[in-house]
Amino acid sequence: MRGEECVTDYLQAEATSTSLKSAGETISDSLLIAMVLKGLPEEFTPFNTVVMQKDSEPTFLEFKSLLRSYEESLRSREAHRPNVKNENVLKVNDKNPDFQCGGSASGSSVRCYSCGKPGHKSFECRLKKDRGKWCKECKTITHNFDESRKANRPTRFSSANVNVCKPRSTNTYNDEECCFKISCSVDNISTNVCNVLVDCGATTHIITDKSKFKCFDEDFDESKHMVELADGARCKNIVKGKGKAKIVLYDTNGIKQNVLLNNALNISTFKQNIFSVQSAVSKGATVSFNPNHSQLISPNGVSFEINKKGKLYYLNSVSSCKSRSLEEWHKVLGHCNVKDILKLEDKAEGMKISD
């Protein structure tokens, strides 16, 4: 990776992999990740350490997302770093030798974030050592860190809903590089509703949004159709129609593909769109599940990656979320105000307000 390149320009391994796949040679995601990691510069060393010590091996799509996020964080740090001219970095007062506050880096561009003076770093600061108190959270000398209200403020999420990814070794990460994941459910709104669940037990496709259907079977009698669940229970009058539904999926190259599902059922009460493996295989498609890579290959040869989330498998869908009420969108968007939610409907792709 050259100094002027960004991550997007550097990721040439993906194009090479696509060409090899077209020639019949399959390259594993782990090999692609290793190729990319080997060519990263020194500032990506913390990222390499995190990826190599993950318990589960990420897919190449997940790896690209993590790599771009880390690059954005590096750019953000560079943007917020103070720009101090070298000629005005350090002024020495001959009459007062303590003017430098213990700094010895004459002509250096470093600046102490404790006292604000140039020429030394925070751990070298004499003022910080002499004053006795210092709070690294509030950046103030009025109290210590253990006395800070901000540092000891209780979080809004309970410990049951927050999963912290702790590092294996305390010497590997610092506090700023520790990542965390928050999982919460708002009125049973599924976080995976925008993706399509791959189900080997379903005998037909199920689409919750009626607007996704191109046409309906006029001879289909809703009152005579029943849906049998896994526990043997049968539900009547929940199917609103049967026909051809069109969904948009990302293929393995990240390109949007229009997919037509035949004999799909419209069940608006379901929280999740379901892709039937049995129906797809009967139409000539191929579905394979492996520990490190699962995919769907359509009859015309286009392949789609199947991602595992938790204990379930999903296809990456584009804007397949069904419409929600204004109150539901208010909860999903973190209690955003109503005026901005109404503006987002025309600006955001796939966002619909039912009421």
Residues 240, 307 within the same domain: yes
User: Residues 234, 212: one domain?
Assistant: yes
Specify whether 266 is located in the same domain as 230: yes
Residues 339 and 305 in one domain: no
- Same domain, yes or no: 56 and 108: no
Answer whether residue 86 is part of any domain.
no
CA angle 211, 321, 216 (to 5 degrees): 25
Task: Please report, for the domain that includes residue 251, its CATH number.
Answer: 2.40.70
Same domain for 208 and 280?
A: yes
The pLDDT of residue 199 is 92
Instruction: Assess if residue 130 is contained within a domain.
Output: yes
Based on the fold, state whether residues 49 and 145 are members of the same structural domain. no
Identify whether 330 is part of a domain. yes
Question: Do residues 310 and 327 both lie within one domain?
Answer: no
- 177 within domain boundaries: no
pLDDT of residue 128: 56
Supply the pLDDT for residue 104: 44
Q: Do residues 263 and 202 share a domain?
A: yes
Tens-level pLDDT at each residue, the chain (355 residues): 877 778 777 877 667 777 887 888 877 888 888 888 888 888 888 888 888 887 788 888 888 888 888 888 888 877 766 654 444 444 444 444 444 444 444 445 677 776 777 877 776 776 655 556 667 677 666 777 777 776 665 544 443 444 444 444 444 444 444 444 444 444 444 445 567 899 998 999 999 888 889 899 888 888 888 888 877 788 888 888 999 999 888 888 888 888 999 989 999 888 889 999 999 999 899 999 988 889 999 999 899 999 888 889 999 876 545 578 899 889 988 999 999 999 888 888 778 887 7
pLDDT at 103: 44
Range of the domain at 146: 100-153
Report the phi/psi class of residue 350: left, alpha or beta, with left for phi > 0 and alpha for psi in -120 to 50.
left
Judge if 297 and 220 occupy the same domain.
Answer: yes
Q: Is 120 found in the same domain as 40?
A: no
Tell whether 166 is covered by a domain. no
Q: Look at residues 34, 50, 80 and tell me which one is the last residue of a structural domain.
A: 80
Whether residue 133 is contained in a domain is answered as: yes
Q: Number of structural domains, the chain? A: 4
What string of DSSP letters covers 220-287? --GGG-EEE-TTS-EEES---EEEEEEEEEE-TTS-EEEEEEEEEEE-TT-SSEEEEHHHHHHTT-EE
For residue 85, tell me if it sits in a domain: no
Same domain, yes or no: 200 and 311: yes
Separation between Cα atoms, residue 118 and residue 149, nearest integer Å:
30
- Assess if residue 76 is contained within a domain: yes
Please state, in angstroms and rounded to a whole number, the distance separating the CA atoms of residues 130 and 125: 9
Residue 302, pLDDT score = 92
Residues comprising the chain, all counted:
355
